[in-house]
Amino acid sequence: MNNIAQLKNISIDLGNIKSIELDADPLSFSDGHLIITLLKGKEYVYNEKIDDYVLIEPVIKIYGSDYGELARMEDRLIEQWNQYLEKRKKDL
């Protein structure tokens, strides 16, 4: 299983996620952010999908002007993160 999630143009190491938060108001349909807090600071990780190293930031904010799109991204990332954690439990 690949440990890298790709959201828009950002690569995220699933093993380095501390928390995922959607900072947007579903009733106002205004701009918002998907905020991903990482366990470790800035570092380069290898992304198999693009066959290159990418810099990972300790806090990633993904801007969006559509609440629905941000919520779907959050759902996909949480699903991938949960799959990663389940696989990691089985490997222990």
Structure letter (DSSP) for residue 66: -
Domain boundaries, the chain: 4-91
Output the pTM of the full model.
Answer: 0.71
- Report how far Cα 66 is from the mean position of its chain's Cα atoms: 17
Q: What is the pLDDT of residue 2?
A: 66
pLDDT in tens, 19-60: 999 988 777 666 888 999 988 877 788 888 889 988 877 888
What percentage of the chain's residues is helix, strand, coil (to nearest 5)? 30, 40, 30
CB of 3 within 8 A of CB of 49?
no
What is the total residue count of the chain? Answer: 92
